[in-house]
C-alpha cells in the first residue's frame, strides 16, 4: 500500500513538474537607460514627448524599452517561451514548466519571478479577472436612426453641434478583433479622413489587425465611437483618430492576455495616444489556479490593473468598461476597471435605468467609487462586421460610447489634463452628490462638463496688469473664451465704463477715471468674474 502511494505521489509530481505555467519574469536593470533618457526621440514619437511636456509628465526609466539581449538570452533557456514584454514593468511574460521557470532565477539579470498561479509563488498576486465579452448578446436589427438616444443621453450631441467631434484626439482601442474595419462602408469616412491610423495583433504577432476573424467584438466597439452612416448612425467621436490593438485571445482565457494589453498600452504611450478604450476585463481563467477573487479588485493586484494605472500616470486617459457580472455571484467590477486611476463605465438602458448585468462597486474599492459613471449598455446600437446596424447588450458598448463623447469634450477644452477631464465628467453626472455602487456618479452631461471646464479655466486664467494702474489695463484671457465684455464699477456700485475685448484687442484705457478703488467685471457668454483694481 505504501509503495502504491509512493508511486502515485511520484506520478503526480511528474505530471505537475511538466505542466505548463505562466509567469512574469522581472529584470534587474536596463543597461541602455541613461543613453535612452538623454535621447527620448529614440524611444518615443514627438507626439508622445509633446503630450508628456504639455501635461508636466516626466520621461523616466519606464519609457526605456526592455533590454533586448536579456529577452534573446531568455528565449534560449530550456523549455521557456517568451510571450510578451513590458517596458513599464521591465518584465516579460513567459510560459514553461515550473521547474524551467524557477531555473531562470539563476540568471544574473533576473530580479524576481511572479507566477500567475499564486500557490507556486508566495509573492504573486492572490486572484482573478472578468470574462471579457460575457453577456454581450445580439438582438434585433437596428431600427432607423436610433443612435440618437445613446448620444443624447450623455449630451454629446450638443458638443457635435458646436463642431466638437473628437478631432485632434487620438484613441487606442484594445479589443479582440476588428474584421472588415478596413473595408466596410460604416468606416469609409474614417478612412477617407486619414483617421484610421494603424494597428497591431499582439496575440498573433503581426501587423494585420483585420485578418483575425475569430471575433468581431472590436469592430462593434469601434463603431459606437467612429462609425458614420449618413442619416442612420453617428458615433460619439467620428472625427477622432484611432489605433487598433488586438490583445484578447478569444480561444482561451490566460493571464498572458493581461501582458498583451500592457504591451499595447506601452506602444500607445510611445505613439502619443491621448486616450485608451478597452472593453476587456479579467477575473477567472481556464486554469483556476490563476483566478482572481472579488477582494483582489482593489486596484493593486492584477497585472493589467497596475499597467492601466501606469498608463494614466503617463498622461493617458483610460476608459474601461465596468464588466457584465452584476447579476452573478462575482458582482463587482473586474480588472482593469478596478483601478482608481481609470474611468470605469457601467451600464443603463435607454431610459437611464440600471441594467442588471452591469458590474457594481464593491468592498474592495476602499476610498474610491466604482463604477465611475454610466452610459447606455442595454440594447446599445452598434455596427457589426457585415456593415449591419444592430443592437447588443453589454458595458462593452457603454464604455466606448462615453469614451468617444469624452474625446469630443476634450477637443472643446484641450488645455485640461486627463485628471481634470475625469473630474469634470464625474461632476457633470446625474447623481454626483450621492454616488452608489450601481451607477457610480450617474449619467454624465458632457455639455455641462464643458461648461464647468470653461468656467474653471475662466476663473484661473483671467488676469490683468498693472495694478495699480494709471493708463491701460492689459488683460490675459483663455484662448477658449473668445470675446468678453468688460464692465467697471465704482465703490458705489455704479457702472462707469464698458467695453468688449478679445485676444486680438485686450487693452482697456482707464486714464479718464478718477483715482480710487474700482471693480472690474469680466463676462463671457456663460461666465463672469469680478476683480479689484486701484486707479492712481
At the topology level, CATH places domain 462-535 in Immunoglobulin-like (2.60.40)
Catalytic residue among 124, 241, 259, 396: 396
Q: What ranges do the domains of the chain cover?
A: 2-30+65-120, 138-454, 462-535
User: pTM of this prediction?
Assistant: 0.80
Burial of 141 (0-12, 13-18, 19+ CB in 10 A): exposed
Q: What is the number of other CB atoms lying within 10 angstroms of the CB of residue 54?
A: 12
Burial of 263 (0-12, 13-18, 19+ CB in 10 A): buried
Query: CA–CA separation, 349 vs 257, rounded Å?
Result: 30
Pick the CATH number of 138-454 from 3.60.70.12, 1.10.340.70, 3.40.50.2300, 3.40.50.200: 3.40.50.200
Residue ranges of alpha helices (H) inside 79-139 are: 98-102
Hey, what's the cell of 191?
478612412
126 flagged as catalytic: no
Catalytic residue among 100, 114, 121, 175: 175
Q: What is the CATH number of domain 2-30+65-120?
A: 3.30.70.80
**Residue that is written with C-alpha cell 447606455 in the block:** 376
The least confident of 181-185, 216-220, 343-347, 503-507 is 503-507
The residues, ordered by sequence, that sit 6+ positions from 237 with a Cβ below 8 Å of its Cβ are: 165, 166, 169, 171, 225, 226, 403, 404, 405, 407, 408
Summarised one tens digit per residue, pLDDT across range 40-51 is: 999 999 999 999
Q: Mean pLDDT throughout 488-513?
A: 77
Catalytic residue among 124, 216, 217, 259: 217
67 flagged as catalytic: no
The beta-strand segments (E) located in 419-483 are: 463-465, 472-476
Summarised one tens digit per residue, pLDDT across range 129-160 is: 334 444 454 443 324 377 899 999 999 999 99
Q: What is the number of other CB atoms lying within 10 angstroms of the CB of residue 112?
A: 14
Residue in 174, 152, 151 with CA at minimum distance from that of residue 228? 151
175 flagged as catalytic: yes
Summarised one tens digit per residue, pLDDT across range 392-445 is: 999 999 999 999 999 999 999 998 999 999 999 999 999 999 999 999 999 999
Amino acid at each position: 500500500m505504501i509503495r502504491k502511494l509512493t508511486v502515485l505521489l511520484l506520478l503526480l509530481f511528474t505530471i505537475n513538474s511538466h505542466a505548463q505555467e505562466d509567469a512574469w519574469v522581472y529584470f534587474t536593470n536596463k543597461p541602455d537607460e541613461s543613453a535612452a533618457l538623454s535621447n527620448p526621440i529614440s524611444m518615443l514619437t514627438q507626439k508622445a514627448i509633446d503630450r508628456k511636456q504639455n501635461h508636466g509628465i516626466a520621461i523616466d526609466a519606464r519609457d526605456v524599452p526592455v533590454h533586448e539581449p536579456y529577452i534573446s538570452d531568455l528565449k534560449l533557456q530550456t523549455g521557456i517561451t517568451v510571450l510578451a514584454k513590458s517596458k513599464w514593468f521591465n518584465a516579460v511574460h513567459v510560459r514553461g514548466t515550473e521547474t524551467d521557470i524557477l531555473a531562470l532565477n539563476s540568471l544574473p539579470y533576473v530580479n524576481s519571478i511572479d507566477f500567475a498561479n499564486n500557490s507556486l509563488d508566495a509573492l504573486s498576486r492572490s486572484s482573478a479577472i472578468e470574462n471579457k465579452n460575457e453577456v454581450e448578446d445580439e438582438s434585433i436589427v437596428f431600427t432607423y436612426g436610433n443612435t440618437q438616444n445613446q448620444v443624447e443621453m450623455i449630451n454629446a450631441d450638443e458638443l457635435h453641434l458646436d463642431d466638437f467631434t473628437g478631432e485632434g484626439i487620438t484613441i487606442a482601442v484594445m479589443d479582440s478583433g476588428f474584421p472588415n474595419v478596413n473595408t466596410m462602408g460604416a468606416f469609409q469616412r474614417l478612412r477617407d479622413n486619414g483617421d484610421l491610423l494603424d494597428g497591431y495583433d499582439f496575440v498573433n504577432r503581426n501587423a494585420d489587425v483585420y485578418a483575425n476573424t475569430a471575433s468581431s467584438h472590436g469592430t462593434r466597439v469601434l463603431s459606437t465611437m467612429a462609425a458614420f452612416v449618413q442619416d442612420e448612425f453617428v458615433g460619439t467621436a467620428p472625427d477622432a483618430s484611432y489605433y487598433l490593438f488586438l490583445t484578447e485571445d478569444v480561444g482561451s482565457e490566460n493571464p498572458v492576455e493581461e501582458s498583451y494589453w500592457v504591451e499595447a498600452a506601452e506602444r500607445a504611450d510611445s505613439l502619443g495616444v491621448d486616450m485608451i478604450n478597452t472593453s476587456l476585463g479579467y477575473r477567472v481563467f481556464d486554469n483556476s489556479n490563476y483566478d482572481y477573487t472579488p477582494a483582489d479588485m482593489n486596484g493593486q493586484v492584477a497585472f493589467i490593473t497596475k499597467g492601466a494605472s501606469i498608463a494614466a500616470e503617463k498622461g493617458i486617459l483610460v476608459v474601461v468598461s465596468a464588466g457584465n457580472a452584476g447579476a452573478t455571484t462575482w458582482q463587482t467590477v473586474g480588472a482593469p476597471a478596478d483601478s482608481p486611476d481609470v474611468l470605469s463605465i457601467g451600464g443603463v438602458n435607454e431610459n437611464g435605468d440600471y441594467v442588471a448585468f452591469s458590474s457594481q462597486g464593491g468592498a474592495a474599492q476602499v476610498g474610491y467609487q466604482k463604477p465611475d459613471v454610466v452610459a447606455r449598455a442595454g440594447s446599445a446600437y452598434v455596427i457589426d462586421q457585415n456593415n449591419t446596424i444592430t443592437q447588443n447588450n453589454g458595458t462593452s458598448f457603454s464604455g466606448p460610447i462615453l469614451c468617444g463623447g469624452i474625446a469630443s469634450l476634450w477637443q472643446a477644452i484641450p488645455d485640461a489634463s486627463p485628471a481634470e477631464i475625469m473630474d469634470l465628467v464625474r461632476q457633470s453626472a446625474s447623481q454626483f452628490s450621492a454616488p452608489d455602487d450601481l451607477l457610480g456618479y450617474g449619467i454624465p452631461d458632457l455639455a455641462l462638463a464643458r461648461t464647468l471646464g470653461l468656467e474653471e479655466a475662466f476663473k484661473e486664467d483671467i488676469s490683468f496688469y498693472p495694478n495699480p494702474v494709471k493708463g491701460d489695463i492689459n488683460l490675459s484671457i483663455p484662448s477658449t473664451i473668445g470675446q468678453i465684455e468688460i464692465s467697471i464699477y465704482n465703490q458705489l456700485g455704479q457702472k462707469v465704463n464698458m467695453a468688449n475685448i478679445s485676444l486680438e484687442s485686450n487693452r482697456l484705457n482707464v486714464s479718464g477715471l478718477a483715482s480710487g478703488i474700482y471693480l472690474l467685471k469680466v463676462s463671457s457668454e456663460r461666465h463672469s468674474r469680478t476683480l479689484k483694481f486701484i486707479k492712481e
